[in-house]
């Protein structure tokens, strides 16, 4: 049996990224945290932490952290179901790590956080920003118990549910369009017009060009790791970008932004992935995710239940 005081220390180090931060979070000394981690590693015969700065868990350490989170959630559910007999009070926060892409967080996911905060016993969410194309990697690595992904098929131990389609519009300011696309959106114009990338993994603009023009173009680009920054850059005549319709439709209606090719959207289906182990205790949060998604994401291509 693993000692859960040791796992709690490991989980705190993962969250705070240092022994000192973990000690403050748990109200103990740094030496106590170090001793607990040492005993845990001796017990399992493996290193759980990469001890550089910032401190990060090893692959084994990440799996143990997710295991600890799942046990705490299941324990909380048992206590909740039997609270009268056990004299259980709903004090303290339940914590969970999930992966969400920035476009969702900036456009429709905030309503879920608001609903969660209104609960009598809300979760404390540790949200890691992960591109919807690659968030499945975090689940495979054991660094998230729930995530938003474009992939329908879940990794082993997870289940997935269709959320809806996130619609992206290729947008720019009228001034930018007049400067770079005076004769329309052509391959030649796209090869010289600055675009926006979220990161080196972001290729939405390339996908859109291929879909609309059937051409393979790698446009010059600024890298701005912020969905809100994308919109601001477009408004400031800096570049054109693939922006969520939820974030730019009002700006298009006001004439502040325009679509490069009206009506030519890039549509990304989204799925909610959740560990089967926590599916029951996490069901109310998942229900909120689905409710918000069904309200705000495009449901015209909704998959049958």
Query: pLDDT tens-digit profile of 92-143?
Result: 567 888 999 999 999 999 999 999 998 877 888 889 888 877 788 878 877 7
Residue 246 has pLDDT above 60, yes or no: yes
Q: Which two tokens stand for residue 228?
A: 């809100």
CATH class of this structure's domain 92-305: alpha beta
pLDDT of residue 130: 85
CA distances for 104 relative to 56, 127, 160, angstroms: 26, 12, 17
Residue 263 has pLDDT above 80, yes or no: yes
pLDDT of residue 88: 46
Query: Which CATH code fits 1-91?
Result: 1.10.10.10
pLDDT band at 304 (very low <50, low <70, confident <90, very high): very low
Residue range(s) of every CATH 1.10.10.10 domain in the chain: 1-91
Position with higher pLDDT, 121 vs 299: 299
Position with higher pLDDT, 248 vs 157: 248
Residue range(s) of every CATH 3.40.190.290 domain in the chain: 92-305
Residue 244's DSSP bridge partners are 168
pLDDT in tens, 193-233: 999 999 988 999 999 999 999 999 999 999 999 999 999 99
Among the ranges given (154-163, 185-194, 255-264), the one the predictor scored with the smallest mean pLDDT: 154-163
| Angle, helices 19-26/4-16, rounded to nearest 10 degrees | 120
With the C-alpha atoms ordered 97, 101, 102, 108, is the resulting torsion angle positive or negative?
negative
pTM for the model = 0.77
| Angle, helices 30-44/59-81, rounded to nearest 10 degrees | 100
Respond yes or no on whether the N-terminal peptide bond of residue 87 is cis (omega within 30° of 0): no
pLDDT of residue 236: 98
């Amino acid at each position: 049996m693993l000692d859960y005081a040791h796992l709690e220390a490991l989980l705190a180090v993962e969250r705070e990224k240092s022994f000192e931060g973990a000690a403050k979070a748990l109200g103990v000394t740094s030496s106590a945290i170090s001793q607990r981690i040492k005993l845990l590693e001796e017990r399992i015969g493996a290193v759980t932490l990469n001890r550089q700065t910032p401190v990060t868990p090893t692959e084994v350490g990440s799996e143990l952290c997710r295991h600890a989170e799942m046990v705490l959630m299941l324990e909380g559910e048992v206590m909740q179901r039997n609270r009268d007999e056990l004299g259980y009070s709903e004090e303290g926060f339940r914590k969970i790590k999930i992966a969400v892409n920035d476009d969702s967080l900036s456009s429709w996911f905030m309503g879920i956080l608001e609903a969660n905060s209104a609960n009598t016993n809300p979760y404390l969410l540790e949200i890691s920003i992960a591109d919807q194309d690659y968030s499945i990697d975090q689940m495979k690595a054991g660094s998230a118990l729930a995530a938003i992904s474009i992939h329908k098929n879940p990794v082993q131990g997870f289940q997935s549910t269709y959320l809806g389609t996130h619609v992206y519009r290729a947008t720019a300011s009228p001034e930018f369009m007049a400067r770079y696309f005076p004769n329309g959106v052509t391959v030649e114009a796209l090869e010289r017009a600055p675009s926006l990338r979220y990161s080196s993994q972001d290729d939405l603009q390339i996908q859109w060009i291929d879909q609309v023009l059937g051409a393979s173009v790698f446009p010059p680009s600024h890298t701005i790791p912020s969905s809100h920054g994308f919109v601001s850059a477009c408004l400031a005549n800096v570049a054109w970008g693939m922006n969520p319709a939820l974030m730019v439709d009002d700006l298009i209606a006001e004439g502040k932004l325009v679509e490069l090719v009206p009506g030519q959207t890039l549509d990304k289906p989204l799925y909610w992935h959740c560990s089967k182990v926590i599916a029951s205790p996490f069901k109310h949060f998942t229900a909120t995710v689905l409710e918000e998604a069904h309200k705000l994401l495009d449901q015209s291509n909704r998959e049958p239940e």
